[in-house]
Amino acid sequence: MRARMISWTAIAAGVLLLSVPALSQIPSKKGDFPKTPGKTGPAAKAGELKKYDDVITKEFQTQPGVFAVHRHEDKVYFEIPQEALGRLFLWYAEVARGPGGNSWGGAAIGEAVIKFERRGNRIYLWRLGFAKRSRGDSAIQRAVEAAGTDTIIASFPIEAEGKDRSAVINVSEAMVQGFPELSITPASGGSNATIDTSRSYLTEIKAFPTNIEFRSMVTFRGVTGGPGGGIFAGPRTTTALVHQSLVILPETPMMGRLFDPRVGYFTEEFTDYSHPRQWTVKREYITRFRLEKKDPNAPVSEPVKPIVFYLAPEVPEKWRPYLKKGVEDWQPAFEKAGFKNAIICREAPSRAEDPYFDPEDARYSVIRWVAEPVKNAMGPHVHDPRSGEIISAHIIFWHDVVKLAQMWYFVQCSAQDPRARKLPLPDELTGELLRYICAHEVGHTLGLRHNHRASQAYSIKQLRDPEFCKKYGSVASIMSYGRYNYVAQPEDKVQHLIPVIGPYDYFAIEWGYKPIPGAKTPEDEKPTLDEWAARQIDNPWLRFGGEDDIAVVDPTVLTENIGNDPIEATALGLKNLDRVLNHLIEATTEKGEDYSLLAEAYNEILSHRQRWFLAVAKQVGGVIENRILAGRGGETFTRVSKERQKQAVQFLLEHAFTTPQRLLDPRILNQIKFSGAANTIMVHQRDLLRALLSQERMTRLFDAELLLGDKAYTPAELLQDLQKGLFRELQSPEPKIDPVRRQLQRTYVQILIDRIRRVEQLPEDESETSPFPRSRQRPPPVRVNELRAVARLALQQLLKDLAAAKAKVKDPLTLAHLTDLQATIQAILDEPSAKKS
């Protein structure tokens, strides 16, 4: 999942399925395959097949593996042994190398669970679906099987038989085009994107004991975008190196662990038709690596098989030690969960050490480096569909993530850290920034989702305490988007400004990975997991809040913000930004070079201010979610107090809705702007004001008025406070309004006019700004009539204030502005539709 600025996030490839072997459609032991129409049929007649040597001739090169693979030029045969028939395989495809100028490299483009089954002299390829599950009751199992979603997606004639009736089939087309109905066409390429087979070919194929890896140079026609985010001007032809994997899944699936909404793990949902409630129940299992103790009786033991990440050869040499630390920073968290040396990072073996090692090999977890100008990183993983067991993960760094990490640290921390006052930053500091990003991405590969509530866990006092920050960093979870400590002031002398593995991370790893003695099924684990998760009630550092609907309105779930008081945190951040402006030119310019870096850093400063202001605005109409389950006490939803909301509005009026003269420095703007110097500031003010007065926020304010009565901050009070602050010049002895303020006041009036005209839905850019996805099921805004009434009352009062102020105005531009506003307001109030009640 990518954010607008930087992901440092995961795309969890694959599907998560139920892990209990007794469930229908899942083999419980060797040879006990699912009862499907594709089961093995009677023996083939010898006369119906070609001789083995006539098909696999001397020209073919053969590789033994989970299947024997025979290749001669572009012709490829699989030789499928009988013991592999009916076994589940995970098919996975990704872009090994994309076209220049976009972020295709490393992007996942497809995955599925498949199996090969024989009937007569044909091999049928099934794609399996596991959305419906049952166990125990045989009648219900039969009903689930009858409503199953398994599909035959391909049929291959058996051309010859090998020893023990192994089936030889021609898979040449699949090497380039993917298996039928398992398309490798980029998902974002549009429905018209196709593969040009005349310009595509197989480059290599490798067989291993548990998997088969094959790579093809594939030319796509009609592509309009890349799965990694690269966008082309229009439909075009492009070529990419595509890697496909076939990985046999473990014969004995790992026991799954039930998901709990209080702990953020990636999951896949399924429907349980055999729940004790007697109706269908949605259930989820978390994704995680299989960790088993060598000594099950020891409190802390080394694992039977540790989690191993390899540094691919293309990772720049100077960053390799820091990325290794980013992986192994998770070791203490696993030790708390009972595993010593559970996760390690190694150099990829050389060709001499292992000629078969391949970074795209699905057996290995690898850190890759993609030479594209993309400011991003991600940590996808693939997992066993029956249990959620993570098989491997590929962490991807695009080259210009270095630039973004440096730029953000410069903006947020160069006031406190003298090392950061010249771009580019020193290698040692940059390495620590990459270590942090790597640790974040490793967290995703371990199964962890973002925890955006964790960035609000620490107090402002704690964030300004050098000893506290040295021990706990700046956020309670490295899985948040807290970034760096912009709250600490230079006089605080805080030296550790970069996030570290935090209290929530220790808690989440323990919750997801710690063995529970005596538990034989996921249900057996549930009481213990519930007790562990309930520790959040007394310890706010352990609380989770991620990317779901409530995050849009919950002011304790924020991105690009830190501290439990966003108002005070923003005030301190603004002080540091003023300090950064003092050395901005010197930090971003070199003799004989242009001012592009200066312009980029200046725009980042503006963007940071806007994100901080939006966090303050989230207090208004804010609804806080307390992730508690039944029997744990307390209310699930509470509302921000009236006093706190008024405080937020006053802060925005003083800092966000005033003209920031400090940012309009001619020394800076005359180097990077020939026009529109204040345009970005005005756009940010407009968007912030529209967010404050959005339909969604007004709906929540009306809800609070119904639920809280006199204790609620009402829409009328919000408009009264905003209008008084936005037009405070009208109260001065000689009103004079600058151009930025004039534009802001016009925006305010126009928003109210829209309400009076009963605009049912605002344009896209007028809805509340949030990085989180919105539910398609959200109901449309309501109470439009009351919104009209509040807006009309506010404009009638403003009309009186404008008339009184005009008599005091001497500045001609201010007079023209007030006269124009008067005419605009009077016109809307005189419209017939506006006069209707």
Q: Residues 495-526: pLDDT tens digits?
A: 999 999 999 999 999 999 999 999 999 989 99
pLDDT of residue 133: 54
Q: How confident is the model at residue 27 (pLDDT cuts 50, 70, 90)?
A: very low
pLDDT of residue 784: 46
- 306, two tokens: 């540790």
**pLDDT mean over 822-835:** 83
Closest CA to 407 of 543, 600, 244: 600
Q: Who wins on pLDDT, 439 or 242?
A: 439
Q: Who wins on pLDDT, 283 or 431?
A: 431
Distance CA 274, CA 302 (A): 37
- 122, two tokens: 């044909």
pLDDT of residue 6: 33
Distance CA 657, CA 745 (A): 10
Mean pLDDT of the chain: 85
Is residue 280, in this structure, part of any structural domain at all?
Answer: no
Q: Are 235 and 190 in contact (CB under 8 A)?
A: yes
pLDDT of residue 756: 85
**Is residue 667 classed exposed, middle or buried when 0-12, 13-18 and 19+ CB atoms within 10 A define those classes?**
exposed
pLDDT-wise least confident of 32-41, 229-238, 255-264 = 32-41
**pLDDT mean over 732-749:** 96
- 198, two tokens: 């005349």
| CA torsion angle 314 315 321 322 (round to 10) | -170
pTM of the complete model:
0.87
Most confident option among 175-189, 200-214, 453-467: 453-467
Distance CA 709, CA 704 (A): 7
One domain, residues 727 and 780:
yes
**Those residues with Cβ within 8 angstroms of residue 276's Cβ, 6 or more apart along the chain or in another chain:** none
One domain, residues 712 and 602:
no
Is residue 287, in this structure, part of any structural domain at all?
Answer: no
Q: Are 615 and 561 in contact (CB under 8 A)?
A: yes
pLDDT, tens digit, for every residue of 187-237?
Answer: 544 446 788 889 999 999 999 888 999 899 988 887 665 444 443 444 578
**pLDDT mean over 542-564:** 90
469 Cα distance to chain centroid: 26
The pairing of beta strand 211-225 with beta strand 231-248: antiparallel
Is residue 285, in this structure, part of any structural domain at all?
Answer: no
Is residue 510, in this structure, part of any structural domain at all?
Answer: yes
One domain, residues 684 and 643:
no
Asked if residue 365 has pLDDT above 60, the reply is: yes
One domain, residues 687 and 673:
no
One domain, residues 597 and 684:
no
- 736, two tokens: 């004079």
pLDDT of residue 766: 42
Helix (H) or strand (E) holding 540: none
- 573, two tokens: 């951040």
One domain, residues 459 and 575:
yes
The pairing of beta strand 365-370 with beta strand 390-398: parallel
Distance CA 26, CA 438 (A): 36
- 720, two tokens: 């009264």
- Give the other-Cβ count within 10 Å of 720's Cβ: 15
Is residue 467, in this structure, part of any structural domain at all?
Answer: yes
Q: How confident is the model at residue 128 (pLDDT cuts 50, 70, 90)?
A: confident
pLDDT of residue 536: 92
**pLDDT mean over 468-475:** 97
- 552, two tokens: 């849009």
Question: Among 231, 252, 273, where does a domain finish?
Answer: 252
191 Cα distance to chain centroid: 25
Q: Are 602 and 672 in contact (CB under 8 A)?
A: yes
Distance CA 198, CA 177 (A): 11
Q: Are 282 and 269 in contact (CB under 8 A)?
A: yes
State which residues form the domain around 344: 307-677
The pairing of beta strand 160-161 with beta strand 68-72: unpaired
Distance CA 298, CA 573 (A): 48
Q: Who wins on pLDDT, 460 or 47?
A: 460
One domain, residues 135 and 189:
yes
DSSP symbol at 47? G
Q: Who wins on pLDDT, 394 or 494?
A: 494
**Exposure string over 481-493, b if 16+ CB within 10 A, otherwise e:** bbbbbbbbeeebe
Asked if residue 695 has pLDDT above 90, the reply is: no
Distance CA 78, CA 67 (A): 6
Please name the residue that has the structure tokens 């991620």: 546
pLDDT of residue 372: 82
One domain, residues 100 and 175:
yes
The amino acid present at 452, given as its one-letter code, is H
Question: Among 644, 677, 710, where does a domain finish?
Answer: 677
pLDDT-wise least confident of 196-210, 686-700, 752-766, 769-783 = 769-783
pLDDT of residue 111: 82
Asked if residue 108 has pLDDT above 50, the reply is: yes
pLDDT-wise least confident of 7-11, 273-277, 643-647 = 7-11
**pLDDT mean over 419-445:** 98
DSSP letters spanning 206-260 = EE-SSEEEEEEEEEEEEEEE-TTS-EEEEEEEEEEEEEEEEEEPPSSPPPP-B--
Distance CA 526, CA 505 (A): 20
* Residues paired with 742 in a beta bridge: none
Asked if residue 254 has pLDDT above 60, the reply is: yes
Closest CA to 741 of 672, 795, 821, 640: 821
Asked if residue 638 has pLDDT above 60, the reply is: yes
Could you tell me the end-to-end alpha-carbon distance of the chain, in angstroms, rounded to an integer? 47
Question: Among 677, 708, 735, where does a domain finish?
Answer: 677
Please name the residue that has the structure tokens 């400063």: 605
**Exposure string over 131-140, b if 16+ CB within 10 A, otherwise e:** ebbbbeeeee
Please name the residue that has the structure tokens 């592009």: 596
One domain, residues 237 and 385:
no
One domain, residues 362 and 220:
no
pLDDT of residue 131: 55
Closest CA to 722 of 701, 707, 703, 706: 701
Enumerate the H helices of 446-594 as residue ranges.
Answer: 460-463, 466-472, 503-513, 522-533, 566-582, 584-588
One domain, residues 773 and 661:
no
Q: How many domains does the chain have?
A: 3
Distance CA 529, CA 516 (A): 9
Is residue 267, in this structure, part of any structural domain at all?
Answer: no
Distance CA 170, CA 155 (A): 11
**pLDDT mean over 103-126:** 83
Distance CA 212, CA 244 (A): 8
pLDDT of residue 833: 60
- 387, two tokens: 């249990």
Is residue 753, in this structure, part of any structural domain at all?
Answer: yes
Helix (H) or strand (E) holding 519: none
Q: At what angle do helices 503-513 and 522-533 cross, to 10 degrees?
A: 160
Is residue 427, in this structure, part of any structural domain at all?
Answer: yes
| CA torsion angle 703 707 709 714 (round to 10) | -20
Q: Are 205 and 211 in contact (CB under 8 A)?
A: no
DSSP letters spanning 72-104 = ETTEEEEEE-GGGTT--EEEEEEEEEPPTTSS-
pLDDT of residue 130: 67
pLDDT of residue 1: 34
Q: How confident is the model at residue 85 (pLDDT cuts 50, 70, 90)?
A: very high
One domain, residues 653 and 790:
no
Asked if residue 661 has pLDDT above 70, the reply is: yes
pLDDT-wise least confident of 37-46, 674-683, 708-717 = 37-46
**pLDDT mean over 110-120:** 91
